[in-house]
Amino acid sequence: MAAALKNDRLLRALRREPTDCTPVWLMRQAGRYLPEYRQTRGRAGSFMQLAQSPALATEVTLQPLDRFDLDAAILFSDILTIPDAMGLGLRFAEGEGPRFEHPVRDEAAIRALSVPDPTAELRYVTDAVREIARALDGRVPLIGFSGSPFTLACYMVEGSGSDDYRTWKRMLYSRPDLAHRLLDVNARAVTAYLLAQIEAGAQAVMVFDTWGGMLTPDNFQTFSLDYTRQVIAGLTAGIATRPGLQSVPVIAFTKGGGGWLESIAACGADAVGIDWTTSLHSARSRVGDRVALQGNLDPMVLLTDPATIERETKRVLADFGHGHGHVFNLGHGIVPATPPEHVQALVETVHSASVPYHRNGG
């Protein structure tokens, strides 16, 4: 019973259909750079208590939309909800990033993993999606998301963020059989999780492969992209067998994956996220019309000043150039030090300066 969409720029751009201007949303647009977020976060207690409360998750998901003319909402949640639901015990220590109480490091731990039921252990996420969709009432589309099977495994084996994920990489190199077993469970879990988000009202989904870029080209294919492909194929199959469910666009984003764009563009995704180290112009010439592109302003630009932000935003628009299929975003998440008025300058510039690129059929 989804409300009719009042702003369908994002969905049209993801399908490479004409729009009046370039749609824009920002990774981590609901977050610590907003004082109202920090207030809600304070009331919630911990980060996980915030993410696990559908009412509060709805509140913070909508906060950036009340300030800025963004073309999408993205579910407020964390990429590590799945391993938490698998029993690994996710904790966020202040100023430290995520940490698992029970990382999986040996054969026994990996064999003991099973796919969490998204309507049970992850019910708080689908409840949040439903509540956000209701609150949005068709204002803009809602994006659901998950970490990629590979990126989830990085944290699950390492137990936390890392510079080099050495424990996990050691497993990839010396026990590829174990690594594949873990990745297969993750891929099935991500598929079920994203399907549940779509059933609950997500109108697009994004797979965040934050760490795939640290792999060798062969290992990226084998340990990361193959499993993202499995997820996307699983979504298509799952949607086909569930009456009333409609296909939604999928965005695949591998930070540092610029070298492998051609293969990422062929993984079944409708759109590919690009970080700022790859030019949108060259990306377009490499992948042609196969996919839409999402990106790619350096988040550090938002720490400068409105004039610089306007100039650099226009540079990104010009780099993509004429035509459709561009979703403006940062090349990675917005940082907490960003002044909110700088986001205002960015969003306004995208909408106004992109109009000429969409004229005359693009």
Which one of the listed residues 9, 12, 16, 28 is annotated catalytic? 28
Written as six digits, the tokens of 327 are 């979703």
Compute the least distance from the CB of residue 15 to a copy of itself, in Å.
28
Examine residue 300 and tell whether it contacts a copy of itself (CB under 8 A).
yes
Instruction: Give the nearer residue to a copy of itself in terms of CB position, either 140 or 317.
Output: 317
Q: Counting contacts by CB under 8 A, is residue 43 touching a copy of itself?
A: no
Catalytic hit among 12, 16, 41, 99: 41
Q: Does residue number 318 form part of the binding site for a copy of itself (CB under 8 A)?
A: no
Nearer to a copy of itself, 43 or 315 (CB): 315
Which residue among 135, 304, 310, 348 contacts a copy of itself (CB under 8 A)? 304
Which DSSP category does 83 fall into? H
Catalytic residue among 8, 33, 71, 78: 78
C-alpha R_g of the chain: 19
Backbone phi, psi, residue 292, to 5°: -80, 160
Q: Is 312 in the site for a copy of itself (CB under 8 A)?
A: yes
Q: What's the token pair of residue 193? A: 């999780």
Q: Which is nearer to a copy of itself, 48 or 316 (CB)?
A: 316
Report which DSSP code applies to 246.
-
Check 155, 165, 193, 227 and give the catalytic one. Answer: 155
Report the nearest approach of a copy of itself to the CB of residue 258 (Å): 5
28: annotated active-site residue = yes
| Member of 77, 151, 254, 278 binding a copy of itself (CB under 8 A) | 278
Which DSSP string do the residues of 10-79 spell out, in sequence order? HHHHHTT---SS--B--TT-SSTTSHHHHHHHHHH-SHHHHHT-HHHHHHHHHHHHHHS--S-EE----T
Q: Distance between CA atoms of 289 and 307, rounded to whole angstroms? A: 33
Choose, by CB under 8 A, the member of 67, 277, 310, 314 that binds a copy of itself.
277
Round to whole Å and give the CA distance between 170 and 231: 25
Q: Which is nearer to a copy of itself, 39 or 173 (CB)?
A: 173
Among 17, 121, 184, 298, binds a copy of itself (CB under 8 A): 298
Do residues 311 and 276 lie in contact, with contact meaning Cβ atoms separated by under 8 Å? no
Of these, 109, 135, 239, 335, which contacts a copy of itself (CB under 8 A)?
Answer: 335
Q: What is the DSSP string of 126-171?
A: HHHHHHHHHHHTTSS-EEEEEE-HHHHHHHHHHSB--SS-HHHHHH
Task: Give just the sign of the alpha carbon dihedral 285, 272, 274, 219.
Answer: negative
110 closest CA partner among 129, 83, 137, 89: 83
Q: How many H helices and E strands in the chain?
A: 16, 9
Interaction between residue 164 and a copy of itself (CB under 8 A): yes
Q: Is 166 among the catalytic positions?
A: no
The residue range among 35-43, 211-219, 240-248, 348-356 that interacts with a copy of itself, by the rule CB under 8 A, is 211-219
Using CB under 8 A as the binding rule, whether residue 337 contacts a copy of itself is answered as yes
Tell me which stretch binds a copy of itself (CB under 8 A): 64-72, 143-151, 224-232, 255-263. 255-263
* 301 lines the binding site for a copy of itself (CB under 8 A): yes
Q: Quick check: 107 binds a copy of itself (CB under 8 A)?
A: no
- The alpha carbon dihedral of 25, 288, 250, 241 has a sign of positive
Active-site positions?
28, 32, 41, 78, 155
Provide the binding-site residues for a copy of itself, judged by CB under 8 A: 164, 166, 169-170, 173-174, 213-218, 220, 256, 258-259, 276-279, 282, 298-301, 303-305, 308, 312, 315, 335, 337
